[in-house]
Amino acid sequence: MHQFDLGFARVSRLETGIYEVVAAPAIEIDGAMSARFHRFLDEQLRSPCHLLIDKKHDYSLSLEAMRNAGDHPLVRGIAFLVYRNSTAKIVELQQRLMRNRAIPVASFRDRDLALEWLRDLALPLRNHQAS
């Protein structure tokens, strides 16, 4: 498994075109960190991807970071994995604030369901890359 440490988050390649993002606990992700994540997508991944955002740690997001989520052209879908009702409510707010509402976004409490949803989204992309 490929893993990348961005300092404020760990990104792991789960399978072709699907990456898990786990933020460090007790931090605030701001606009600069969001921009650094976008640079990471450009420099390291360089191909369309789907993200599993695992919300297992408590952290906060600035308004700018909330709006920037999913705003990169390589991100084709986001599944949020939530564990608590309070986290689910924050994710709902984040989904309403996201600028790029054209990409599919969903919240899940079950990791396997989230991954299956992402696989379904990624299937056309995977078929295109294989041909």
Residue 131 pLDDT greater than 50, yes or no: no
Per-residue pLDDT at 66: 84
Q: In the numeric block, which tokens belong to residue 127?
A: 């078929």
Chain mean position to CA 62: 16
CB 16, CB 10: distance < 8 Å: no
Model confidence over 44-98: pLDDT tens digits? 998 999 999 999 998 988 988 888 888 899 999 999 999 998 888 888 877 777 7
Residue 99 burial (C-beta neighbours within 10 Å; 0-12, 13-18, 19+): exposed
Amino acid at 87: T
